[in-house]
Chain A
Amino acid sequence: MKIASAKDLEKIRKAYAPSLYHPEGIKINVGMASCGIAAGALEAFEKAVEAFEDDDRINVCRTGCIGFCEVEPLVEILADGRPRVLYKNITADKIIEAVEDYQNGASKKKWILGQMRDPRCVLEDDLGNPIDKIEPIEGIPFLEDVPFYKNQVKVALRNCGYIDPDEIDAYIAKKGYLAFIDALHNQEPKKIIETIKDSGLRGRGGGGFPTGIKWATAAKHYGDRYIICNADEGDPGAYMDRSILEGDPHSVLEGMLIAGYAIGSRQGYIYVRNEYPLAVKRLLTAIKQAESYGLLGDNIAGSDFSFHIKISTGAGAFVCGESTALMASLEGKVGRPRAKYVHTVEKGFRESPTNLNNVETYANVPAIVLKGAGWYAGMGTEHSKGTKVFSLVGKIQNTGLVEVPMGASLKQIVFDIGGGVPKKKKFKAVQTGGPSGGCIPERFLDLPVDYQKLAEVGSIMGSGGMIVMDQDTCMVDVARYFLDFLKEESCGQCNPCREGIKQMLDILTSICQGNGKDGDIELLEELGAMVQKFSLCGLGTSAPNPVLTTILYFRDEYEQHIHDKKCCAGVCKELFHYEIDAEACTGCQVCFRKCPQDAVSGEKKKTHSIDQTKCIKCGICYEGCKFDAIKIC
């Protein structure tokens, strides 16, 4: 069947929606993004499929990332007229019991994260369950009251974890492709660009360039215009784009279609990083389905607009996330950036006008076109509108994927939603912006997160990775870590970046090894300023950020490393050793048994000790001690 109008979409929507909201019998949604699968979701899914194969009242389905990755596998169970219940840590051995529990009224409170009367979706205004008529289950919190979900507003993630990503009908049931068809039939391309401009949407890939302005510029230049989606997601610790692609690929395709129509392009490309095979698979399925509905291809929905999308994969080069490098890589070449005297909106891929946006940027577009620029601009702060997806990772209680309105404070994100640092350890910093960003210390926790404010404290919004660091994280080591990363990933074309980063790394390495000397910090600052100023591309100009912000906010740690030859976090091996605190040690022998070097000695129930000559500081005893008896000295 080919879709020709909004009416056709509405038909599909009406036919599919019941299975989303009022399923016959019981529906089980297993969260099957890469992270869920790594936690055992596939086994749980297969187990349930096998167990309920002959039971047509129970329907086992898959969905994307439900967000709360800490307690994956997550399984949502629902039935018509009853609240949906989200179960946590449901591995294969627990899934059958979880389904039985739901059938029996959902009483396993320890397994349950919360209940929902209806999924809160920004685009939804009808067809859902009549909320008031559903009786909540007693004694189980509502998901919107669970701290992790409480302050979240899902726009880019609107369908992630609710629908089956391999089903185009499910996307359409959530008003998918309606924005595009409406734009195509009823709106001039110029008007759409105005809408995107008015919404205040800024690029989510890191730079934060106003999307509407970029589109308008690309539309002005003549030639075969191209639309590219940047799904290279190179920042380590960031997986927002992966989750969107795996959980709601059609939202990205629709965003690209709208961009294609607005700018006047016939061909789109999605450049996906090599490490995301599942995202590629789901995208390929989504493209096929959209083609079979005539939503991609020639003369879409009876109009004279034609648009095709191809997928291309990267091969493990961070610098290929940079726009000009990405385009070189798409052409099958070595991914080296070029100087941008001429912008890619004028001459990009194949020397033609090219519009490049990030995955999350495109995923926002259909929602904006459907609900209007005013609605989107109503969220966020003065210069940063809408919402932003973050991956909360590192030393944090509730790791996961969260989406909040711009302007939410770091404290709200890290502590209210993220639950703070685990194991009663002390919060030290949060790192945003990946290798181009900076480390933000505790005193700025009240900072509202938007493009401006993060820049004011020396960091950047970046693509959305938020890596929380605690007392066990050494800030000098973090700076060294990022430079090591960037040294590997620098393409080597320009001197300031290639040599500057290497020199800075050498200094940092020597500080971490206990050979730091007076003047090193100043030298780092000087070199950093040079690399920032003279590098060719964004990789180099932002490379010193992690070093400069850690020097700015954690100078005392640098001084301790250099002058006292101490690493209080217990990371830099030459600068600390482990000792056993006689008062805290209970002689439980865990460290004695676990030490791979036989460096621990001591009898049962008596204080143990560590032979420093044998100890290799692998940290197994420190991690394993339940009594905090291993001290970093």
Chain B
Amino acid sequence: MSEAAATLSGPVEEIDIRELDDIIENQFGNDKENLIMILQAIQRRYNYLPRPALTYLAPKIGVPFSKIYGVATFYATFSLEPRGRNIISICLGTACHVRGGERIRERITDSLKIKDGETTPDGRFTLESVRCIGCCSLGPVIKINEDMHGRIGTDEVEKVLNQYE
């Protein structure tokens, strides 16, 4: 509840309608069946789902805002809050778990002082956990933005984080 309240009154992003139209109309033909992919495209553009974009989207595809909000909160990849410049995806899949993924997460949490889903106050990192990135052979794995870091040791965490500004 508090999360929802915070989001709804959250920061207002300047939204470029033309960009949204390009996504909603040109790429996805105003089709409500494409809602999830539209949201993904919006998130790729803004790094999160700004509320004005969602209210704009609702009448365009004929889906009530409440339903869009439901979808956006049901699926784990969507974020209703701005995320950091660098997204750390820590794998907590089974293969990574038995190879010490939990300890890697603890190191990250300790060193950045953020928990799963949170962003550092300086906006440098957002920590997100995922369940398997499909690179289990390299476990434990963390992915920062698009870079995979495999077979990472507990003592290497800080060195890896330092590579990102």
**Contacting residues of chain B (117-152) with chain A, CB-CB under 8 angstroms:** 130-139, 141, 148, 150
Known: A332-B34, A399-B137. A316 touches B132 (CB 8 A): no
Residues of chain A lying within 8 A (CB to CB) of residue B75: 314-317, 335
The smallest beta-carbon distance between A238 and chain B, in angstroms, is 7
Whether B93 pairs with A394 at a CB distance below 8 angstroms is no
- Chain A interface size, under 10 / 10 to 19 / 20 to 34 / 35 or more: 35 or more
Whether A467 pairs with B95 at a CB distance below 8 angstroms is yes
The complex places the Cα of A268 from the Cα of B11 at a distance, in Å, of: 41
A236 within 8 Å of B (CB atoms): yes
Residues of chain B lying within 8 A (CB to CB) of residue A315: 36, 39-40, 75-78
The smallest beta-carbon distance between A486 and chain B, in angstroms, is 11
The complex places the Cα of A434 from the Cα of B95 at a distance, in Å, of: 10
Whether A618 pairs with B94 at a CB distance below 8 angstroms is no
The complex places the Cα of A49 from the Cα of B131 at a distance, in Å, of: 35
The smallest beta-carbon distance between B1 and chain A, in angstroms, is 15
The smallest beta-carbon distance between B32 and chain A, in angstroms, is 5
The smallest beta-carbon distance between B92 and chain A, in angstroms, is 8
The complex places the Cα of A491 from the Cα of B73 at a distance, in Å, of: 12
Whether A69 pairs with B137 at a CB distance below 8 angstroms is yes
B4 within 8 Å of A (CB atoms): no
Q: Looking across the interface, which residue of chain A has its beta carbon closest to that of B136?
A: A393
Residues of chain B lying within 8 A (CB to CB) of residue A395: 98-99
Whether A332 pairs with B33 at a CB distance below 8 angstroms is yes
Whether A620 pairs with B40 at a CB distance below 8 angstroms is no
The complex places the Cα of A22 from the Cα of B155 at a distance, in Å, of: 48
B35 within 8 Å of A (CB atoms): yes
Known: A236-B94, A312-B37, A394-B94. A335 touches B137 (CB 8 A): no
Known: A239-B134, A399-B137, A619-B103. A330 touches B33 (CB 8 A): yes
Interface size of B by CB at 8 A reads 46
Whether B150 pairs with A39 at a CB distance below 8 angstroms is yes
Partner of B130, one of A275, A331, A333: A275
The complex places the Cα of A329 from the Cα of B35 at a distance, in Å, of: 9
**Contacting residues of chain B (75-97) with chain A, CB-CB under 8 angstroms:** 75-78, 92-97
Residues of chain A lying within 8 A (CB to CB) of residue B92: 236, 485
The complex places the Cα of A33 from the Cα of B75 at a distance, in Å, of: 26
The smallest beta-carbon distance between A87 and chain B, in angstroms, is 17
The smallest beta-carbon distance between A74 and chain B, in angstroms, is 11
The complex places the Cα of A275 from the Cα of B155 at a distance, in Å, of: 27
The smallest beta-carbon distance between A320 and chain B, in angstroms, is 8
Q: Looking across the interface, which residue of chain B has its beta carbon closest to that of A399?
A: B137
The complex places the Cα of A275 from the Cα of B143 at a distance, in Å, of: 11
Known: A313-B36, A316-B76, A330-B33. A275 touches B133 (CB 8 A): yes
Q: Looking across the interface, which residue of chain B has its beta carbon closest to that of A35?
A: B135
The smallest beta-carbon distance between A24 and chain B, in angstroms, is 34
The complex places the Cα of A112 from the Cα of B74 at a distance, in Å, of: 48
B15 within 8 Å of A (CB atoms): no
A478 within 8 Å of B (CB atoms): yes
Q: Which among A315, A333, A334, A434 has the greatest number of chain B C-beta atoms within 10 A?
A: A315
**Contacting residues of chain A (264-317) with chain B, CB-CB under 8 angstroms:** 274-276, 312-317
What total of A-B pairs shows CB separation below 8 Å? 146
Partner of B134, one of A35, A333, A334, A491: A35
Known: A39-B150, A332-B35, A469-B98. A34 touches B77 (CB 8 A): no
The smallest beta-carbon distance between A11 and chain B, in angstroms, is 37
Q: Looking across the interface, which residue of chain A has its beta carbon closest to that of B37?
A: A313
Residues of chain B lying within 8 A (CB to CB) of residue A238: 132, 136
Residues of chain A lying within 8 A (CB to CB) of residue B13: none
B47 within 8 Å of A (CB atoms): no
Q: Looking across the interface, which residue of chain B has its beta carbon closest to that of A233?
A: B134
B107 within 8 Å of A (CB atoms): yes
A473 within 8 Å of B (CB atoms): yes
Whether B134 pairs with A275 at a CB distance below 8 angstroms is yes
Whether A237 pairs with B35 at a CB distance below 8 angstroms is no
Whether B154 pairs with A334 at a CB distance below 8 angstroms is no
Q: Looking across the interface, which residue of chain A has its beta carbon closest to that of B100?
A: A619
B153 within 8 Å of A (CB atoms): yes
Residues of chain B lying within 8 A (CB to CB) of residue A334: 70-71, 74
The smallest beta-carbon distance between A558 and chain B, in angstroms, is 18
Residues of chain A lying within 8 A (CB to CB) of residue B19: none
The smallest beta-carbon distance between B90 and chain A, in angstroms, is 13
Whether B93 pairs with A237 at a CB distance below 8 angstroms is yes
The smallest beta-carbon distance between B46 and chain A, in angstroms, is 16
Residues of chain B lying within 8 A (CB to CB) of residue A469: 98
The smallest beta-carbon distance between B65 and chain A, in angstroms, is 14
The complex places the Cα of A620 from the Cα of B157 at a distance, in Å, of: 11
The complex places the Cα of A239 from the Cα of B40 at a distance, in Å, of: 23
**Contacting residues of chain B (1-50) with chain A, CB-CB under 8 angstroms:** 31-37, 39-40
The smallest beta-carbon distance between A490 and chain B, in angstroms, is 12
The smallest beta-carbon distance between A68 and chain B, in angstroms, is 9
The complex places the Cα of A274 from the Cα of B134 at a distance, in Å, of: 11
Known: A465-B94, A623-B100. A316 touches B77 (CB 8 A): yes
Partner of B98, one of A38, A317, A478: A478
Residues of chain B lying within 8 A (CB to CB) of residue A482: 94
The smallest beta-carbon distance between B159 and chain A, in angstroms, is 12
Whether B155 pairs with A329 at a CB distance below 8 angstroms is no
The complex places the Cα of A69 from the Cα of B106 at a distance, in Å, of: 27
Known: A313-B36, A434-B94. A618 touches B154 (CB 8 A): yes
Residues of chain A lying within 8 A (CB to CB) of residue B71: 332-334
A594 within 8 Å of B (CB atoms): yes
Q: Looking across the interface, which residue of chain A has its beta carbon closest to that of B34?
A: A332
Whether B137 pairs with A70 at a CB distance below 8 angstroms is yes
A538 within 8 Å of B (CB atoms): no
Residues of chain B lying within 8 A (CB to CB) of residue A333: 35, 67, 71
A431 within 8 Å of B (CB atoms): yes
Identify 17 residue pairs between A and B in the complex whose beta-carbon atoms are under 8 Å apart, listed by A's number: A38-B150, A39-B150, A235-B132, A236-B97, A312-B36, A313-B37, A314-B75, A315-B39, A315-B75, A332-B63, A334-B74, A393-B137, A394-B136, A465-B94, A485-B92, A618-B106, A623-B100
- 5 tightest Cβ-Cβ pairs between the two chains A and B: A236-B93, A69-B137, A315-B75, A316-B76, A38-B148
* Besides A313-B36, A333-B67, A618-B107, 7 new A-B residue pairs in contact (Cβ under 8 A), listed by A number: A34-B134, A314-B75, A316-B76, A335-B74, A431-B94, A467-B94, A618-B106
